[in-house]
Amino acid sequence: MTRAWSPVETIRRKRDGLALTTEEIENIVRGYVDGRIPDYQMSALLMAIFFRGLDEREMTDLTMAMARSGDMLDFVDDARVVDKHSTGGVGDKTSLVVVPLVAAAGAVVAKMSGRGLGHSGGTIDKLESIPGFRASLGPEEFRRQVAEVGAVIAGQSGNLVPADKLIYALRDVTATVDSVGLIASSVMSKKIAGGARRLVLDVKAGRGAFMTDREAAVELARAMVAIGRKAGLGVVAVVTAMDQPLGRAVGNALEVAEAVRCLRGEGPEDLEELCLVLGSHMLTLAGLAPTPGEARERLSSVLRGGQALERFRRMVSAQGGDGRVADRPEEVLAAAPVRAEVRAERPGWVRSVDALAVGRLAMALGGGRHRKEDEVDLSVGVVLGAKVGERVAPGEVLATVHARTADQAQEAAAELAAAFDISGEPVAPPALVLETVS
């Protein structure tokens, strides 16, 4: 007689450092979603995984078990469909630029995004600062916009990867969030369930990132690429710097306005560069360019020609948003009523801008969440006047705070001054791309 599967035995085996079988992983995920496995047993297994880790096969099995726990979208009939994911950072509005840019170059970008939590902003919050924009799309609406516009950014559907929602909530309260195997499986399960077959990952490393250590970020990138390879996906991971904010705007509406400027070819140099790097890998994976270099030339032409901005307008309008944001963002987007400037006290070169401090200040102003149910003020934030490597004169504006009240603005400005370190010697601009894993 075949011995019945036991969750206790699975926990024990992982506790002792043994690799779990595919069947064990499927049983534990399925059992937890349908309520047969209690929280205390899943918590024990998560802690065992935290200490013992998962090998590539186990990570892939966990990814696929979670992906299959709910609805799964499928775009396999279109080889041009490609997706992009960022592990999150301060001022990271690349999706707002990359999605319409790559779509305008001929690819199809079907992207599901999340809301911000903590100092790292969320793409959906940023888009919802556009009046009327609707992020909640049903599966059929999602597919229809993919077919008609070639670009969509929507929130996750209610039944997409329910296993990940349950397991992540448990990880959050059991100190098991920062496990490479669990992070990689969480990210990749959502991408696979969302229909991704070709995926570019932007893995942030630095002070303002979830992974502050470069080596840890590279390890995570390699883990996700390995999962993708075993699951039959085309995946490239780009490890990028997040010690200072990306671009100059930090805050939902402020970042949308900056993304529009970038789509006009007028954006900050680092934001445009990263969008071209990520976009070139996306276009290559979609089979629309033989090399990233040739893909970059095509994307640069689309950006300068205005097609990317027009695709952004179409995407926003298709989801109920005010398309005039592509022409006059300052008239369409909400603006905070109070501003306060932070000025340099002495001449020099900017040696560092603390991304974590800037992100936390934007959150404290009301632009982010401590808990998922918190309301967000979409108008507040920070705009940098100077970045690392730039020379500043006494009295020059280092940053501008956008706040709801004068007291908030002055308090934030005082704290923001400490986020800048000014050197008496020239400082070289930092590298943006740290490593590429493919």
Pairing relationship of beta strands 108-113 and 81-86 according to DSSP bridges: parallel
Choosing from 80, 84, 126, 190, the catalytic residue is 190
pLDDT at 78 over 90: no
Rounded mean pLDDT, 266-272: 96
pLDDT tops 50 at residue 1? no
Whether residue 303 is predicted with pLDDT greater than 60 in this model: the reply is yes
Confidence (pLDDT) at 19? 97
Neighbours of 169 (CB within 10 A): 12
Segment 318-330, tens digit of pLDDT: 999 999 999 999 9
Any catalytic annotation for residue 402? no
What pLDDT sits at residue 3?
65
Asked if 190 is an active-site residue, the reply is yes
Candidate list 13, 84, 85, 360, residue with the active-site label: 85
- For residue range 145-170, list pLDDT tens digits in order: 999 999 999 987 668 899 998 998 89
Is 186 part of the annotated catalytic residue set? yes
Residues 125-148: tens digit of each pLDDT = 999 999 999 999 888 898 899 999
Query: Which one from 171, 197, 198, 402 is the annotated catalytic residue?
Result: 171
The pLDDT mean for the chain works out to 93
pLDDT tens, residue by residue, 173-184: 899 988 999 999
The pLDDT score that the predictor gives to residue 117 is 58
Between residues 137 and 98, which one has the greater pLDDT? 98
Catalytic residue of the set 83, 125, 164, 354: 164
Residue 2 has pLDDT above 60, yes or no: no
164 catalytic? Reply is yes
| Domains of the chain, CATH where assigned | 7-53 (1.20.970.10), 81-329 (3.40.1030.10), 334-423 (3.90.1170.30)
Kindly name the residue from 69, 113, 129, 186 that is annotated as catalytic: 186
Its pTM stands at 0.92
For residues 302-309, average pLDDT: 97
